[in-house]
Amino acid sequence: MAQAWDKIHDIFAGKTGDNIQIRGWIHRTRSSGKLIFLQVRDATGIIQVTIEKGNIPDTEFQAAKKALIESSVALKGKTIKDKRAPGGWEIHPESFTVINYADIFPITEQHSTEVLLDHRHLWLRSQQLTQIMKIKSSLLQIIREWFAQHNFFETTPSVITTNAAEGGATAFTFKYFDQKAFLSQTAQMYLEALIFSLERVWCLTPSFRAEKSRTRRHLIEYSHLEAEEAWLDNNQNIALQEDLVSYVCQKISATCASSLKALGSNPLNLQKITPPFPKITYKEAILRLQKKGFDATWGDDFGVLHEKALTEDEEKPLFITHFPQEIKAFYMELSPDGKTVECSDMLAPQGYGEIIGGSQRSEDISSMKIRLKKQGAKLENYEWFFDLRRFGSIPHSGFGMGIERLLCWITQQEHIRDMTPFPRLVRRAYP
Ligand code: 4AD
Ligand code: MG
């Protein structure tokens, strides 16, 4: 049987010897006379490789010298302890094969954001994006674990829909044979239908928002994690979100410590994210903003600057509850005051913005119809949804979390576009 390929992180963890073989890509290369210094990368790490003329067949030495960065290579040799090398080890090969000679790599770290986005398919190989994608993978795994522990069923609602639940203004429309359809903004309405048989459901689907906002927090397409639960009121819904976010922060700080540190995020800060989170009402938030010098009045929605001002001094996420019904979606339960709704926004600390929106759902068909009409929605498209209130309606609540927003805060990065491999932005759908 052929010898299995070694992984770079296993070498750093102690799997060393005279008979090591790895394959990967040239990350850096430099040569001087009889020596070639390479850094070779695989999915698990980067290791230094030093090739000395005379230690390998001359054709292989010449091949290694000619190979540019991002060439794919395979090599076999022995590990040597070297304090100066990243990871503490380097490899001295006795054989070296170039699998594909790369062209001149078109990007360097110094390039502009636009150039990096044009070459996103290649820039995904950067260390920054590699670490982010690794943390994102762990994040999704941890979230799945949490839902399983809480006896939620994972479901798969469609992203093609005839309902623009979050308002027609930000919905993408397209021709679905001979009718008009939308790309989903939320799976919420479908999850609501599923609770009558499953009670606790969740899903992870792409959501689409045709928002012309070019901010550090907006994607046109994002990974939307949504949950819906029967018999749950707004306060219980808030407690559930608090539990999920705390669990994720604890787990990710333990499992991804080195990737987080590489990105400049301190895992110790994530360990401090434990319940309870601070909670204020919308009314209190407006007062806070006024005290901070904002010209904010009842009925204003919060923008980036407001959210930043509200959370800049917070260590934990902040809940804002009971927004005026006029600035929230049609499906939220009216509060007893008749003015606000039973909802919450969870804002990440340090101005990272809203990571979760949640609410108790209205059971009152006529109130929902009035609000939908104000938005100019076609009521007949919502008849199926009103059926859910006609056949065994119950109190229920749910929430939606933007995975890239959460990840951006956890990794302490500048811009949400780097939280997804191929960001869809107002002026970009390529590559
Ligand atoms: O607050 P939103 O619009 O709420 C809903 O869609 C509800 N129907 C969810 C539910 O109750 N099932 O969106 C939920 C979350 C936001 O808190 C934010 O984290 C994220 O989705 N989000 C975006 N993320 C990236 N780019 C955008 N353009 C986003 N718009 C919303
Ligand atoms: Mg929201």
Mean pLDDT score, 372-389: 95
Residue 360 in contact with ligand 1 by CB distance below 6 A: no
Which burial class, exposed, middle or buried, applies to 131 when counting CB atoms under 10 A from its CB (0-12, 13-18, 19+)? buried
* Per-residue pLDDT reduced to its tens digit, 227-257: 999 999 999 999 999 999 999 999 999 999 9
Q: Within 10 Å of residue 423's Cβ, how many Cβ atoms?
A: 19
Instruction: Please work out whether the CB of residue 163 comes within 6 Å of at least one atom of ligand 1.
Output: no
Q: Is 317 near ligand 1, meaning CB less than 6 Å away?
A: no
Separation of CA 315 and ligand 1 centre (Å): 22
CA of 277 to the centre of ligand 1 (A): 20
What is the per-residue pLDDT across 255-271, written as a single tens digit (0 to 9) for each?
999 999 999 999 999 99
DSSP symbols for 69-103: TT-EEEEEEEEEE-TTSGGGEEEEEEEEEEEE---
* Cβ count near 70 (within 10 Å): 19
Ligand 1 closest atom vs CA 188: 12
The reply to whether ligand 1 has any atom less than 6 angstroms from the CB of 247 is no
Q: DSSP character for 68?
A: P
Atom of ligand 1 nearest to the CA of 359: 11
Q: What is the pLDDT of residues 151-185, one digit of tens each?
A: 999 999 999 999 999 988 999 999 999 999 999 99
Q: What are phi and psi of 203, to 5 degrees?
A: -155, 160
Rounded to an integer, the average pLDDT of 339-356 is 96
Q: Token pair 């938005």 is at which residue?
A: 375
**How confident is the model at residue 2, as a pLDDT?**
75
Mean pLDDT along residues 306-332? 96
Question: Is residue 411 lining ligand 1, measured as CB closer than 6 Å?
Answer: no
Cβ of 316 less than 6 Å from ligand 1: no
**pLDDT tens digit string along 79-112?**
999 999 988 999 999 999 999 999 999 998 789 9
Question: Rounded CA gap, 342 and 237, in Å?
Answer: 10
| For the CA of 358, the nearest atom of ligand 1 | 11
Atom of ligand 1 lying closest to residue 227 CA: 12
How far apart, in whole angstroms, are the C-alpha atoms of residue 394 and residue 5?
56
Specify the pLDDT at position 106: 95
Determine the distance separating the centroid of ligand 1 and the alpha carbon of 224, expressed in angstroms.
Answer: 7
pLDDT at residue 168, rounded to an integer: 87
Binned at pLDDT 50, 70 and 90, residue 1 comes out as low
What mean pLDDT is predicted for residues 296-321? 96
The residue whose CA has the least distance to atom 24 of ligand 1 is 402
Taking CA atoms only, the protein residue closest to ligand 1 atom 18 is 402
Percent share of the chain, pLDDT over 90: 95
Predicted confidence (pLDDT) at residue 71 exceeds the cutoff of 90 = yes
Write down the pLDDT at residue 208. 98
Distance 309 CA to ligand 1 centre (A): 20
Average pLDDT of span 180-199: 98
Alpha-carbon distance of 67 to 426, in angstroms, equals 38
How many Å separate Cα 420 from the centre of its chain? 7
Using CA positions, which residue lies closest to atom 21 of ligand 1?
Answer: 402
pLDDT band at 46 (very low <50, low <70, confident <90, very high): very high
| Residue of 200, 405, 420 best suited for mutating to test ligand 1, as the one with most atoms within 8 Å of CB | 405
- Judging by beta carbons within 10 Å of its beta carbon (0-12, 13-18, 19+), is residue 401 exposed, middle or buried? buried
423 in contact with ligand 1, CB cutoff 6 A = no
pLDDT of residue 3 exceeding 80: no
CA–CA distance, 172 with 182 (Å, rounded to integer): 5
> Which of 184, 209, 419, 425 to probe ligand 1 with, by most ligand atoms within 8 A of CB?
209
Does position 289 have pLDDT exceeding 80, yes or no? yes
Residue 141 has pLDDT above 90, yes or no: yes
- Residue 266, CB-side half-sphere exposure with 13 Å CA sphere: 5
Report how far residue 104's alpha carbon sits from residue 95's, in angstroms, rounded to the nearest whole number: 24
Distance 302 CA to ligand 1 centre (A): 14
Pairing of strands 343-348, 179-183: unpaired
Q: Is the pTM of this model over 0.95?
A: yes
Span 387-421, pLDDT tens digits: 999 999 999 999 999 999 999 999 999 999 999 99
Share of the chain above pLDDT 70, in %: 100
* Whole-number average pLDDT of the chain: 97
Q: How far is the CA of 171 from the centre of ligand 2 (A)?
A: 15
The confidence score (pLDDT) of residue 58 equals 98
416, 136 contact by CB (below 8 A)? no
Give the closest ligand to the alpha carbon of residue 226. 1
Q: Is the CB of 361 inside a 6 Å radius of any atom of ligand 1?
A: no
Q: How far is the CA of 413 from the centre of ligand 2 (A)?
A: 21
222 lines ligand 1 (CB under 6 A): yes
In the reported structure, the alpha carbon of residue 357 is separated from the centroid of ligand 2 by a whole-number distance in angstroms of 5
Looking at residue 109, what is its pLDDT? 73
Cβ(405) – ligand 1 distance below 6 Å? yes
pLDDT on residue 108: 83
> 328 in ligand 1 pocket by Cβ < 6 Å?
no
Ligand 1 in contact with 209 (CB < 6 A)?
yes
